[in-house]
């Protein structure tokens, strides 16, 4: 034996096929778009319009004091919607705080999706109902969860794919690296979707990474990286669907970088004028996901008045229901604070619960 025969010596994977396209992949407005199924385009359109309306409504709710905070995904609706639509019912979605729209598009009631941001509890939905993990706030920490769940499903022989969402800033976190590495080593059925919206609060991507693109990082782990126009709903849907299918059929994980833009400030509490120029925002408004899709639908004669008004009415109905239900005060039971810390509360917790109960009783009497 020589060193050339030892496992350490030879590359394990051919790097070239893993490399992303040099430019973000686009479909809308290209000749290939003519092949796209009209039903899919209409469905995407309906979801985007609904998503835009949802973002506007949620932002309005912050102004009315009904949400503690809202990180808007306005401008990123194509990513959010495509993530939800690329999955089958048995698959799992792992969202971040910015991804309540994807959660809603997957079928969770908007009121339940917004519970964290309203502040009456941390997670408002049973994750098992729609197979949506709790919204994750500590950046990138949800990524290893997705890998572990997908790994467990594969070990169990189940047909389940996990799709995990993270921002561009989150890719600098150690958990991003560890999740990518575990997924590739284990060949877990996972798709990582990075929404590169240009900023991590105020910090631009250039200060996060010196990699050619985020998608290139995939190559270092031995998985394919895909670079996509994140405002092209059809391209997003196609690339994510392919990645999910690849994972489902034993092909292992994929990293998808969606190049998009955060049109609003980081949250309603942020002032974006301190760190970015309006001209940049204006440029991205010209590359709006809904406008791009409308153009395609129009050029193919698919956008008639019925679709337009029907879609708008549906979005309005969702917003009205959300507004109305968010305007009533949520039911709060302080005893819930102790109910789920452990399967059985400890003696100390029972004593503390009794103390709070007595305090509340005294408050009621006075």
CA dihedral 345, 348, 354, 359 (to 10 degrees): -130
Taking the least distance from each CB to ligand TPP, the nearer of 259 and 303 is 259
Q: Going by DSSP bridges, is the β-strand pair 203-204/199-200 parallel, antiparallel, or unpaired?
A: antiparallel
User: Cβ 257 to Mg ion, closest distance in Å?
Assistant: 12
User: Cβ 156 to ligand TPP, closest distance in Å?
Assistant: 31
Catalytic hit among 42, 275, 295, 323 = 275
112 contacts ligand TPP (rule: CB under 6 A): no
Task: Kindly write out the interface string for residues 111-150 of this chain, putting x where it contacts other proteins by CB under 8 A and - elsewhere.
Answer: ----------xxx--xxx----xx---x--x-xxxxxxxx
Taking the least distance from each CB to ligand TPP, the nearer of 59 and 311 is 59
| 82-113 residues labelled b (16+ CB within 10 A) or e (exposed) | bbbbbbeeebbbbbbbbbbbbbbbbebbbbbb
Q: What are the two backbone dihedrals, phi and then psi, of residue 237, each rounded to the nearest 5 degrees?
A: -65, -40
The answer to whether 77 and 51 are in contact (CB under 8 A) is yes
Query: 77-85 vs 38-63: helix axis angle to the nearest 10?
Result: 120
User: Cβ 335 to other proteins, closest distance in Å?
Assistant: 12
222 contacts ligand TPP (rule: CB under 6 A): no
Q: Going by DSSP bridges, is the β-strand pair 203-204/225-229 parallel, antiparallel, or unpaired?
A: unpaired
The conformational region for residue 222 under phi > 0 = left, psi -120 to 50 = alpha, else beta, is left
Taking the least distance from each CB to ligand TPP, the nearer of 178 and 314 is 178
| 153-192 residues labelled b (16+ CB within 10 A) or e (exposed) | bbeeeeebbbbbbbbbbbbbbebbbebbbbbbebbbbbbb
Q: Is 25 a catalytic residue?
A: no
360 contacts: CB under 8 Å, gap ≥ 6: 334
Taking the least distance from each CB to other proteins, the nearer of 18 and 146 is 146
Q: Is 262 a catalytic residue?
A: yes
185 contacts other proteins (rule: CB under 8 A): yes
Q: In this structure, what token pair is assigned to residue 267?
A: 């949250």
User: Cβ 114 to other proteins, closest distance in Å?
Assistant: 15
User: Cβ 263 to other proteins, closest distance in Å?
Assistant: 29
Q: Is 275 a catalytic residue?
A: yes
Interface ranges with other proteins (CB under 8 A)? 121-123, 126-128, 133-134, 138, 141, 143-153, 155-156, 162, 174-175, 177-179, 181-182, 185, 336, 339-343, 346-348
Interface ranges with ligand TPP (CB under 6 A)? 98, 137-139, 167-170, 197, 199-201, 262, 266
Q: Which residues are catalytic?
A: 262, 266, 275
């Amino acid at each position: 034996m020589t060193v050339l025969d030892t496992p350490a010596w030879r590359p394990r994977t051919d790097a070239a096929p893993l490399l992303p396209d040099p430019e973000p992949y686009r479909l809308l407005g290209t000749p290939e778009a003519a092949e796209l199924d009209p039903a899919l385009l209409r469905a995407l359109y309906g979801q985007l319009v609904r998503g835009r309306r949802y973002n506007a409504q949620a932002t309005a709710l912050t102004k009315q004091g009904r949400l503690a905070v809202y990180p808007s995904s306005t401008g990123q609706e194509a990513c959010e919607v495509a993530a939800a639509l690329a999955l089958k019912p048995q698959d799992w979605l792992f969202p971040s705080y910015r991804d309540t729209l994807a959660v809603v598009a997957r079928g969770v009631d908007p009121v339940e999706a917004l519970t964290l941001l309203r502040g009456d509890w941390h997670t408002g939905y049973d994750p098992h109902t729609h197979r949506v993990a709790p919204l994750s706030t500590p950046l990138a920490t949800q990524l290893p969860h997705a890998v572990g769940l997908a790994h467990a499903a594969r070990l169990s022989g189940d047909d389940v794919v996990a799709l995990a969402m993270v921002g561009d800033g989150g890719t600098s976190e150690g958990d991003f690296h560890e999740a990518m590495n575990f997924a590739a080593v284990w060949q877990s059925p996972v798709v990582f979707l990075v929404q590169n919206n240009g900023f991590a609060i105020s910090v631009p991507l250039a200060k996060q990474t010196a990699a050619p693109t985020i998608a290139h990082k995939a190559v270092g782990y031995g998985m394919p990286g895909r670079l996509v126009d994140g405002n092209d709903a059809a391209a997003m849907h196609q690339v994510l669907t392919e990645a999910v299918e690849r994972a489902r059929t034993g092909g292992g994980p994929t990293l998808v970088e969606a190049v998009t833009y955060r049109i609003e400030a980081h949250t309603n509490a942020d002032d974006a004028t301190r760190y970015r120029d309006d001209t940049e925002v204006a440029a991205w408004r010209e590359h709006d996901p809904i406008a791009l899709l409308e153009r395609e639908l129009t050029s193919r004669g698919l956008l008639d008045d019925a679709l337009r008004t029907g879609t708008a009415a549906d979005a309005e109905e969702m917003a009205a229901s959300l507004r109305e239900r968010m305007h009533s005060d949520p039911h709060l039971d302080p005893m819930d604070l102790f109910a789920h810390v452990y399967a059985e509360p400890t003696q100390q917790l029972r004593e503390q619960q009794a103390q709070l109960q007595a305090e509340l009783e005294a408050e009621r009497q006075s």
